[in-house]
Amino acid sequence: MIKKVSEILYDARKEGYAVGAFNVINIEMIQAVFTASQETKTPVILQFTESTMKYVGGKTIFHTIENIAKWYYPDVCFGIHLDHGKSIEIVQECLEMGVPSVMFDGSRREYEENVSLTKHVVEMSHSKNACVQGELGSVPYKSEVSSDIETWDAYMTNPDQAIDFVQRTGIDTLAVAIGNAHGMMKERFEPDYNRLSEIVQRVSLPLVIHGASDWDISRVQEVVSRGVSCFNVDTSSRVAFAQSLSKTFKASEEIEIDIRKVLGNARGAMKEAVKEKIQMFRGISK
């Protein structure tokens, strides 16, 4: 059954684990996440981006998630969320469709503009009983940073600003930047754990780590023990899906035209990748 994202995260925090928020773009990926959730008996968040709304249609992705859950996974506890909404218009479109949780990503804007736009999104969303994730600091993309600490500093969340941001916007969850980055980045230095603890001392909301695809269990457990409740995963499940597609095509001399075999294998591979992440977020190594 569908549940409010903030409630899923508070419940997980109380029980000492974190929830995975997985990006999905098609039916097979949705099924992979739901099956992984069912097999691990763990709540999940399924999320989609503006690019996916452009690709398949916002209503298509949203209602497909809802319907697959209703018809085939009635026992699974899950949330649905817009990931990285970067404009008021895209958030509005989602709220009008009934999406129950949205991220407003104003992290690349000037601080005061991020505050006022996020606050506006919170007012719009709360009037429809939807919750809002804000972002302060900015989680970089792979091409933007390297291993030197100076470059990273510019992206980090300021703990004092975090409490001001939370109080002035009224958000429900906060995405933080503590050395995490989108994509696979082996060269990244250790996260700034002290900064995270300073944020946690000031902010009682559930905290979200974006860019969790390449985090190992020790990092994950360190930040969960310090108060993180949610990890966003996109790259590693996409890689599992894409590698399987490529393997199936390469396996036979003639191109496989039963696309169900190709996509079915990819769905299975992604399910395993998602299960591994869910277990990691619960503190279980494989």
Binding mask 22-61 for ligand G3H (x = CB under 6 A): -x-------------------------x-xx---------
Rounded CA separation 209/232 (Å): 6
Site for ligand 13P, residues 24 to 83, rule: CB under 6 A = 83
Helix (H) or strand (E) holding 20: strand 19-23
Among 234, 271, 275, 282, binds ligand 13P (CB under 6 A): 234
Using the rule CB under 6 A, give the single segment among 4-12, 59-67, 163-171, 206-214 that binds ligand 13P.
206-214
Residues 159 to 218 in contact with ligand G3H, rule: CB under 6 A? 182
Q: Establish if 119 lies at the interface with ligand G3H (CB under 6 A).
A: no
Smallest gap from Cβ 136 to ligand 13P, in A, equals: 15
Sequence-distant (6+) residues with CB within 8 A of 107 are 114, 135, 136, 137, 138, 139, 175, 177
Roughly what angle, to the nearest 10 degrees, separates helices 111-126 and 88-97?
10
Choose the contact partner of 64 out of ligand G3H, ligand 13P, Zn ion, none; CB within 5 to 8 A by kind. Answer: none
**DSSP string for 218-262:** HHHHHHHHTTEEEEEE-HHHHHHHHHHHHHHHHHSSS----HHHH
Comparison of 114 and 232: residue with beta carbon closer to Zn ion:
232
- Interhelix angle 159-169/111-126, rounded to 10 degrees, is 40
Q: 83 catalytic, yes or no?
A: yes
Binding site residues, ligand G3H, CB under 6 A: 23, 49, 51-52, 83-84, 182, 234
Catalytic residues, by residue number, are 83
